[in-house]
Structure 1
Amino acid sequence: MKVVLTKDVEKLGSKGDVVEAADGYARNYLMPRGLAVEATQQKIKELKEKEAKQNRLESEKREDAQKLKSKLESEKFVIKVKAGDNGRLFGSVNTKDIADAAAEKGYDIDKRKLELDDSIKSLGMHTVEVKLYDDITANLKVNVKEK
């Protein structure tokens, strides 16, 4: 019996594949568990359309992330904090402060996407990475100034 897999099945195939399976295996195991549906022309067509739509959405997200990356890397974000002698800060600048500075300029950046090894504890220019998409990261230029 020909079936279309709706999820990855070990030793049979991956999601979206049209495979030949034994009748009993398909009816008694794959279909009741939602792992496969019978391969009709309609089902195959629906799966191809769904996959094409998903690929199109992913490419749009990737393009948006590339555009945002170029915009973010051309900006400089200024954060003003209280500092003592020798440029040491009273406290530190963390991911929330950087996300707030980006929000002031109109960028919606989640603080959890910012990759900061340790809090910033000195004045001056610092570079912070932000993960925008799977493999797209942007380097933000953060200038910490004295208030």
Structure 2
Amino acid sequence: MPKSKNRRKNLFNRLPKGDQGGIRLLLIHNVEHLGKQGDIVEVKPGYANNFLLPQGLATVATDHHKRMVEKHREKLRQLELEKLVEYRSRAAEISRQSITIEANANDEGLLYGSVGASDIADALKGVGITVPQDQIRLQGPLKELGLYTVKIHLHAEVDAELKVWVVPTVSAEEQAAVR
């Protein structure tokens, strides 16, 4: 067997196995849909070796690491509360905003294309708020003119609602006619 396969096999053997046959890890950071900081979780080997361990989100659940987390649990909880306050103030700021996106539409109000998360992120950037596209939760692309309430997922416990107006594009001839 090549050396790299032996090394990988030894790595798998060193990681503690859980009751279900997965790998037991101690979460260093909160991981959405998995657990909170300090939780001991059991995950599949691929998830542990390809995501959690390389990203620094978890570590091997040894007695030493458990003691360290217990020792710092209060400090970690305080830091998490500070982050939550920050996320909530950001959510309030986003909820106060109302953005307008121009799009080409026919006479019935149906858009020729659609408005997606990237368009909303760009419009928010225009008013000075930066939000990653993956935090914008749409039920589907916006395909009609009108007012929409879009959910912005900032944290596992904090969501904001943003008002998005989709209006028809005003052509140069229509602008000249208005003047």
Q: With the length of structure 1 as denominator, give the TM-score of the two structures.
A: 0.68
| 1:94 corresponds to | 116
Are residues 1:125 and 2:147 paired? yes
Counterpart-to-counterpart distance in 1, 2:110 and 2:167: 11
Superposition deviation, residue 87 in structure 1:
0.9
| 1:111 corresponds to | 133
| Higher RCO structure (Cα 8 Å, ≥6 apart) | 1
| 2:160 corresponds to | 138
Matches within 5 A, 1:46-125: 47=69, 50-125=72-147
Which amino acid is the alignment partner of residue 149 of structure 2?
A: T
Counterpart-to-counterpart distance in 1, 2:61 and 2:140: 46
Counterpart-to-counterpart distance in 1, 2:95 and 2:106: 30
Q: Secondary structure at the match of 1:64?
A: helix
The two structures, once aligned, show a CA RMSD in angstroms of 2.7
Q: Secondary structure at the match of 1:126?
A: strand
Superposition deviation, residue 50 in structure 1:
2.8
Q: Structure 1, residues 57-80: CA drift from partner, whole Å, max 9, x if none?
A: 211110011111111111101111
Structure with the greater alpha carbon radius of gyration: 1
Question: Where does structure 1 differ by over 2 angstroms across 4 or more consecutive aligned residues?
Answer: 46-53
Q: How many residues align?
A: 116
**Which stretches in structure 1 are left out of the alignment for 5+ residues?**
1-6, 17-32
Which amino acid is the alignment partner of residue 142 of structure 2?
A: I
CA 1:34/1:76 → structure 2, altered by over 3 Å: closer, same or farther? closer
